[in-house]
Amino acid sequence: MELIQRIQPLHLDVLKEAGNIGAGNAATALSSLLNKTIDMKVPAVRVVSFQEVQALAGGAETLVVAAFLRITGEAPGSMFLILQKSEAEHLAAALTGQRVDIGNDDLEEMAVSALQETSNILAGSYLSALSDFTSINMQPSVPALAIDMAGALLDAGFVEMSQVGDYAIVIDTVMEEPEKTGESASIGQFFLLPDPDAFRQIFRALGVNMP
Amino acid sequence: MTVTEKQIIKVGMADWKAVSAPDAIRTSGLGSCVGIVIYDDKRHTAALAHIMLPDSKMARNKALNRAKFADTAIADVLLALKAKGCSAFQLKAKMAGGAQMFSFSSGSDMMRIGPRNAEAVKHILKENNIPLLAEDTGGNKGRTITFYPETTSLHIRTIHQGETVI
């Protein structure tokens, strides 16, 4: 039976719960980095087509800043930190104290390095919480950062799942400043895309059977 | 009198479509994926496939989506063009994509999927004696491509380097 047919709503709930544990830890890390309260939560775990993952990130052609890393260990997968242009500018300014114009090719090296380091800290705290919770060993690679079309950047995360089907299981994490409202409250999002072979490990560790 | 509007037909990931002039055909946000256009310049008919992986042998499920892999997608495209009356010896190709969007110090095979996609497409075109007249592959940039069967020009839009035509 194909993976997608074996994944039940219960499994998605379990993944959401696990994602929220990672998100909570990452939020604490980011809050102390920026010295203000940041909320991170997993609104839903989605089983979506590759096209829909692009839509979640703002659309295939939308300019985004993305940090990508691979997770190795017992539950391999891919992780993206996706920042829309304004979110990246905002975050880079908060980190470096300088205004940056993203999409301008002489993007400050300092801003890139600050965003890369931040994604490293966020992914690290997210995964270490997830790893503690599941007792699964997960090692993140150092993230690589790129500024380009969302669709093009996400391709890198689809290589494994596309070998078993036409969908991805996305643990989508939103980051917000609770003191703000509307669009400006959003500071970015995280996608965790487990590899097809990771699911059995994750569910077994959390005591859920998968047919 | 009715005026026929030019339409731009959109092709999603792991899909292909065929089109005839004056319509054009487009696929967006190619990263490691490859957009391969095979066309008949006498009939002004073209097909565009947005492939994700180089070889259908990589598929781990039986009910595979043939449009996702270079080998099966091109085989199906050639059949469809033939069914539209295109002759095999008239067919030509242009392609773009196959980038490596992120650079990692550890060059794993998975990260090389873009170049592998481009190599696979070239190999299959050669096997079918279809000349590859132009390509813009590799590098680390995302591409949106639009092909106009009327002029056989392939427009490539990128974020950092604007638009080029091949």
Does A105 lie at the interface with B, CB-CB under 8 angstroms? Answer: yes
pLDDT at res. A1: 59
Domain assignment present for A211: no
Q: How many CB atoms lie within 10 A of CB B112?
A: 14
Q: Is B29 close to A162, i.e. CB distance below 8 A?
A: no
- Catalytic annotation, pick one of B18, B19, B30, B33: B33
Does A153 lie at the interface with B, CB-CB under 8 angstroms? Answer: yes
Q: What phi and psi values does residue A18 have, to the nearest 5 degrees?
A: -65, -40
Which whole-number Å values give the CA distances from B128 to A23, A33, B98, B123, in the listed order?
51, 57, 21, 9
pLDDT at res. B83: 93
Q: Is A166 close to B65, i.e. CB distance below 8 A?
A: yes
pLDDT at res. B47: 96
Cα–Cα dist A144/A133, whole Å = 26
pLDDT at res. A39: 87
* CATH number where A155 lies: 3.40.1550.10
Q: How many CB atoms lie within 10 A of CB A179?
A: 10
Domain assignment present for A136: yes
Domain assignment present for A87: yes
Which regions in chain B score pLDDT beneath 70? 1-4, 62, 105-110
Does A132 lie at the interface with B, CB-CB under 8 angstroms? Answer: no
pLDDT at res. B108: 63
For the domain with range B8-165, which CATH number is right: 3.40.50.1100, 3.40.50.150, 3.30.1330.200, 3.40.50.2020? 3.30.1330.200
Q: Is A148 close to B52, i.e. CB distance below 8 A?
A: no
Chain A, residues 11-70, CB within 8 A of chain B, namely 50-51, 54, 60-61, 63, 68, 70
To the nearest 10°, the Cα dihedral for A94, A99, A104, A110?
-60
Does A186 lie at the interface with B, CB-CB under 8 angstroms? Answer: no
Which whole-number Å values give the CA distances from B11 to A97, A131, B28, B59, in the listed order?
43, 39, 8, 21
Q: How many CB atoms lie within 10 A of CB B162?
A: 8
Q: Beta strand pairing status for B8-10 and B24-30?
A: parallel
Chain B residues lying within 8 Å of A150, measured CB to CB: 29
pLDDT at res. B110: 66
Q: What is the mean pLDDT of chain B?
A: 91
Q: Is B101 close to A146, i.e. CB distance below 8 A?
A: yes
pLDDT at res. A152: 95
pLDDT at res. B28: 95
- Listed by start position, the domains of chain B span 8-165
Its ipTM equals 0.89
Tell me if B113 sits within 8 A of B53, measured CB to CB: yes
Domain assignment present for A210: no
Domain assignment present for A82: yes
Active site residue B86: no
Reference B32, options A105, A62, A149; nearest CA is A149
Mean pLDDT (10-residue bins), chain A, 211 residues: 77 87 89 87 86 90 92 90 89 84 70 87 89 89 91 91 86 83 78 88 84 72
- For B118-128, write each residue's pLDDT tens digit: 999 999 999 99
Minimal CA separation from A70 to chain B, in Å:
10
**Domain residues for A184?**
3-205
pLDDT at res. A211: 72
- The CA-CA-CA angle for residues A129, A131, A135, to 5°, reads 125
Overall number of domains in chain A: 1
Q: Is B30 close to A151, i.e. CB distance below 8 A?
A: yes
Q: How many CB pairs below 8 A link A and B?
A: 107
Q: Is A159 close to B106, i.e. CB distance below 8 A?
A: no
